[in-house]
Structure 1
Amino acid sequence: MSEAENNQLHAYLPILRGYKLLKFCYFILVVSLYSCGDTKTDKTTEVQSTETSIETVETLPVKSKTILCFGDSITAGYGLDDTNDAYPALLQHTIDSLQLDFTVINSGVSGETSAGGKSRIDWVIKQAPTVFLLELGANDGLRGVPLTETRANLQAIIDVVKNKSPKSIIVLAGMELPPNMGLEYTTEFRKLFADLAAKNNIAFIPFILKDVGGIASLNQRDGIHPNVAGHKLVADTVWEVLQPLVL
């Protein structure tokens, strides 16, 4: 090879190297794009799988009927370590065992009076329950609230339910007071609930603490609020009235 040809070859070497480098970069680019395409496909598949899972969850059957327990500390399960031991939760267990289409809602507030219930009923009744269980009045009696006031408040609650949720079945839970409140007051207090139930033609539980009230072994230390065993009996008492309404 002549010196001139050798010099010409050396002149083209950088161009050849550049061409080889360009081909190598092009190869890397193609591989990268291909990999990105696979990743995109995988992500799309993952999103589709997630959407399918969500759709499956949304199509699960939801209970359409409700039983709303509107009350005081007895309904709320005051003093229990677990509110799942309170009678509303026990009612739910019974209902589930019978595979009935009902959800029990615990709307109990400890210390609630009939006046307090009257003040919050407009908001609570927006849930339009299938069954509305009214359990209030005990705190009125223990505080010596005039019976005319308790009666008026309970009637006002019943009226709101009838007007704003006319399809709701109303159940009134009766209450009794300990004898130290005086014979006349306790007698009239007991009668108040029976009169309201008859006047409004609604289902009636004569005494929600039947076989529990005044029995030390079935109540907490305060002698007023049922313990776990007591709530089981309360649930049985309530179920006797609820059962024909939900079956």
Structure 2
Amino acid sequence: MKFLKTRQMAYSMINGLLLLLTVWGCGSSGTKTESKLASESANATSAAAKTAAPSTKQTVLFYGNSLTAGYGVEPTQAFPALIGKKIDSVGLNYSVVNAGLSGETTAGGKSRIGWVMRKPVAVFVLELGGNDGLRGLPLAATRQNLQAIIDTVRLKSPQATIVLAGMQIPPNMGTSYTREFRGLFKELADKNKLVLIPFLLEGVGGIPKLNQPDGIHPTPAGHKIVANTVWNVLQPLLK
């Protein structure tokens, strides 16, 4: 009997010790889990706050066709992205948005400008019309469409500086059409008091080694030259 009683007491002590260890273990694990969750929650809150924080940078928006979109090259090699790097390198408080669309005509640009201009911009670079000229579209319509785009930008973002990129085309459509096409960009710039880039592809257009096999779209080296042309006009406007 004494042996059995002693054995029962031993079992009781062991069970009590196991129970104590179990409770202590659960309490320790719970504390660690709560601490980990609290840490993760704090990190997530911090990250969300950073994401939600509004950007103080002003926007430079490039609105154009495949030249702006960077057809045939990496997005980082297209001239708008190169302009973005130049802006960052000199510490200017602007961010670049590339709203280029390959194949875009002035009519297409007119149809989507309201959607693109949902937020205000500081500088609007308009590069459209090249596809109109290459297709021989009526120049009266090209003028009207470009004017409509300019009017919408002025309405949506009255303080924006508008930069118009001039374009030229080969004489395939005839001397008169080619000359009138070249002149319409300066006419619009003068009429609307825009900043004009006389010829976007200056030093690139018609030079085989700076263009892709189609003879129209610049290579990465060509885009660097285009970026410099744009930057010479754009930099003085950025404050």
SS for the counterpart of 1:27 is helix
Q: What RMSD, in angstroms, separates the aligned Cα atoms of the two structures?
A: 2.1
1:74 alignment partner in structure 2 = 67
Encode CA deviations 1:225-246: one digit per residue, 9 max, x unaligned. Answer: 1111111110011111110111
> In structure 1, what is the Cα distance between the partners aligned to 2:83 and 2:135?
29
Cα distance change on mapping 1:32 and 1:192 into 2, 3 Å:
same
1:24 alignment partner in structure 2 = 14
User: Does 2:211 correspond to 1:219?
Assistant: yes
Amino acid paired to 2:67 = I
Offset of residue 168 of structure 1: 2.0
Aligned to 1:145, which of 123, 137, 147?
Answer: 137
Where do 5+ consecutive residues of structure 1 fail to align? 1-8
Answer with 52-61 or 118-127: which moved more. Answer: 52-61
Offset of residue 55 of structure 1: 5.4
> In structure 1, what is the Cα distance between the partners aligned to 2:44 and 2:235?
36
Offset of residue 91 of structure 1: 0.6
2:25 alignment partner in structure 1 = 35
Encode CA deviations 1:79-130: one digit per residue, 9 max, x unaligned. Answer: 12x1211101111111111121211111111110001111111111113222
SS for the counterpart of 1:214 is coil
CA contact 1:171–1:203 (8 Å) conserved in 2: yes
SS for the counterpart of 2:118 is helix
1:230 alignment partner in structure 2 = 222
Offset of residue 24 of structure 1: 2.8
Structure 2 counterparts to residues 119-134 of structure 1, below 5 A: 119-134=111-126
SS for the counterpart of 1:110 is coil
Cα distance change on mapping 1:128 and 1:34 into 2, 3 Å:
same
1:65 alignment partner in structure 2 = 58
Encode CA deviations 1:149-192: one digit per residue, 9 max, x unaligned. Answer: 01111111111111112222211111111122211111111111
Offset of residue 25 of structure 1: 2.7
Amino acid paired to 1:155 = Q
Cα distance change on mapping 1:55 and 1:98 into 2, 3 Å:
farther
1:88 alignment partner in structure 2 = 80
Structure 2 counterparts to residues 104-183 of structure 1, below 5 A: 104-183=96-175
> In structure 1, what is the Cα distance between the partners aligned to 2:144 and 2:176?
19
> In structure 1, what is the Cα distance between the partners aligned to 2:9 and 2:162?
89
Encode CA deviations 1:47-94: one digit per residue, 9 max, x unaligned. Answer: 3433444455544995521211110000011112x1211101111111
SS for the counterpart of 1:31 is helix
SS for the counterpart of 1:140 is helix
Where do 5+ consecutive residues of structure 2 fail to align? none
Structure number with larger C-alpha Rg: 1
> In structure 2, what is the Cα distance between the partners aligned to 1:25 and 1:116?
81
Q: What TM-score comes out, normalization by structure 1 length?
A: 0.87
1:99 alignment partner in structure 2 = 91
User: Does 2:37 correspond to 1:47?
Assistant: yes
Offset of residue 17 of structure 1: 5.0
Identity of aligned residues (%): 50
